[in-house]
Each structure stands twice: as C-alpha cells, then as structure tokens.
Amino acid sequence: MSHRYDEAMKSFYSLENSTKKYEWGHEAHIPLFLQNAPQEGTPVAELWMGAHVSSPSFIQGEEGRIGLDEAIASDLEHWLGTKAASRFGRLPFLYKLLAAGKSLSIQAHPDKAMAEEGFARENAAGVPLDARERNYKDDNHKPEILMALTPFSAMIGFREESVIRRTMRDLCSWGNLPLPPFAEAQDDFLRNFLQGLLTAPSAQIQALIDAAVAYVKETECSWDDLQKQWVVRLNHQFPGDAGVLSPLFLNVLSIAPGQALYQPARMLHAYLDGFGVELMANSDNVLRGGLTPKNVDVQELTRVLDFRSSKPEVLLPQEVAPGFSRFSLPIDEFSLSLLDGAHTVCLEAGEGPRMILVLEGQLTLSDGQENLVLCQGESAVLPSQASVTVHGKGKAAMAGLGQ
C-alpha cells in the first residue's frame, strides 16, 4: 500500500495538540507545563492528545499537516497493528492533561453496550451532536485513569449505605430538619437516594446545604476532614446545587503526585482540584449528576449508574524493566506507563500505537536513523510498527494498548 504521509519510513511524529478552555479549568497548570505564560482570567482545562473526531491531534507528513485521525484511517494496520485494527478500527484511547481549578461535574460514563444503544437512539431521534440535551457524543465507553502531577482531590463511588443513612440522620437531627424521604428508602437505597436528591425541591436542597455548612463550621462533627473541606468549598463554587451534598454520600480522597485513580464505566465520580495526566477509552460521553450548569438528565444517569458501594483504590506503577513502569489496569483499550530516560528504554515494534508525553526534562527518541528530541510538555506518537529507544535526562508518561 502507498503511505501518503510516508508512515512506513517514520517511527515517530511530533504531536500538535489542542487545549480546551472550560470554565472549571486552571489558569496556570497547563500553560506553565507547556512552558507558556498563563493568561489571567483564562482557565485552561484540558489538552487533548489523540484521534477523537471532535478534536484530533495533528502531525506533519511529507505532504503537509494532517489530522491524526485521518492518518490512522489511511492505514489502520500500520498504525494500530493487525489485532487492534481488526478489533477497534480506530485509535482506542484518548490521552489528556487535565487541570481543575474548581470541581468538574459529578459524572459517570456508559459501558460499551449502553453507549452504542444511546448514541443510536439519540441519532434516530435527530438530536444534534452539539445540543444541550445530548448525552451520547459517540458510541464508545469511557473507563479512565488519572495520574496526579500535583496533589489531586476527587470523589469516587458511593459510600456504604449505613454510613449515608447515619450521616443524613445526624445532619437533619442537628439542623432540626425532617429527614427527606429519599434518605429513608428501604429498597434499592442508593438509586432512590440519588434520584430523590437530584429531583428534590430547591428549597429542601438549600435547607440541607445550609445545615451541612453550618454543621461543619459550628460543631466538631464526626465527618472526615475532606468531607468538611469540600462541603464548604463546593457550596462556594456551586451555591444551591444538590451536588454540594455529594461529599456526604461519595468517597472523597486526595492522592499525591505519581499516584493514580482508575474509574470503570458506570462509576459516579468527580474530579475536584489538581493537575494530572488522564487516559481513557476514545470517547467523550458524559452523563452528569450535579455541580454543573450543563444538562443533568436524571433518568439517563440513573439508568447507566452502577449502584453499589465501593472504596476507591489508589494505584502505583509496577516496574517492568529499568526505567519502565506500568499501572495495572483491567482494560484492553489503553495502558499508562512511566519512562525514566536515565535508563535507555527499548520500545519494540508490533506492540500497538504509543503516545509519549514528556513530564520533565528532555528525552530523545531514536530509531537508529533519526532522532526526535522532546522537552517538557511536548509529545509524540509512534505507529505500531516502530521500534524506538528512549533516553535522556527526563521523564515521560506513555499511553499504549492494554496488555
């Protein structure tokens, strides 16, 4: 086959990536990481590296600049490898930097079957892709991992039912409020609790928020420090939003740089504050449950969610070889690895596409004929057929296929 952009001869391409200036972003994290000056009053929320049709990265080929989605589509087997080309038919992951200056929405992502059904349903109904009420932007699921680059706070998964019941009873008793019916449900408690909370009258929600904030500020309540901190902060960020109460029923935790959190599909979660590397299946499907001015489709959210209590696990990478470590993930679409250029790391051909993002210092990619020097904030993509060594005075995070 003729390779329009001479992929057969090249082992790596520098990536030109786009940023997203969402309102919840942070003014400084991403600009400084990219070694640019922050612009006051301009939050930068994400940087996308990948081939998602809505915002692909670009590479420079012999005939000019081309979207990575178009380059990959021109020769799936070369870029993805035979197995991944047959199974996925597209780059299966989306790689990001994420910088939260304020909380992201409480959200969950559908599993694969739900995404396919929901995307087809909304297409058949003629809902425009950019419509406010649109839930499904594509037909894919979106499990994801986030590795912290600064201290990072998040809420992930429901607390134990008994803990939620006790917390609500204590709060209402202290605030002299009637216990809401959704906090008394006997059957399918978590589903009924969330659905009731998100559809409760605004006056009832406001009374509960006021009581929760006062309870934190005026008493030595038994809630943990992160619960106390985030009830107050979320009330400041999203006054009157039912999601202000989410630290009472979701697990709140903070992780250190180098630690990571994995969110499977259908898991309710929210990223609260911090800067990190995020890697997910190639999707932009989000179902929201509060802490947002955007559409909250309670019916669809509760249809998708996994209503089981859970405890989030903090992940650390495991060494594969000197200078090469990887997070263990139960997913085929992606893997997240760390490279330390103090040791020459060999990336063999045939292991699928890889994206390398330099986190600090400087690294050199070499295939024996050409070299590509990457500095902090710069990134490159390697086709599956590339055999490359990585070395230098720097460190990188690498996205690849799951093992």
What is the C-alpha separation between 302 and 190, in angstroms, rounded?
Answer: 10
List helix spans (H) across 97-201. 112-124, 161-175, 189-199
159 is known as an active-site residue: no
What is d(CA 8, CA 344) in angstroms, rounded to the nearest whole number?
24
Q: What single DSSP character describes residue 327? A: -
What's the CA gap between 285 and 24, in Å, rounded? 18
Taking the alpha carbons at both ends of the chain, their separation in whole angstroms is 29
Q: Tokens for 211?
A: 């009581």
Contact 276, 129 (CB under 8 A): no
Catalytic residue among 233, 288, 326, 354: 288
The alpha-helical segments, DSSP class H, found in 34-137 are 68-74, 76-80, 82-88, 112-124
The pair of structure tokens assigned to 347 is: 């990336």
Crossing angle of the two packed helices 202-218 and 161-175, in degrees rounded to 10: 90
d(CA 108, CA 95): 18
Q: What is the CB neighbour count within 10 angstroms for residue 36?
A: 13
Q: Is 374 helix (H, G, I), strand (E, B) or coil?
A: strand
Q: How far apart are CA 146 and CA 267, in angstroms?
A: 14
Site of tokens 């081309």: 66
Does residue 380 sit in helix, strand or coil? strand
What are the backbone angles phi and psi of residue 159, rounded to the nearest 5°? -70, 170
Compute, in degrees rounded to 10, the torsion defined by CA atoms 189, 193, 199, 201.
Answer: 130
CB atoms within 10 A of CB 320: 13
Active site residues: 288
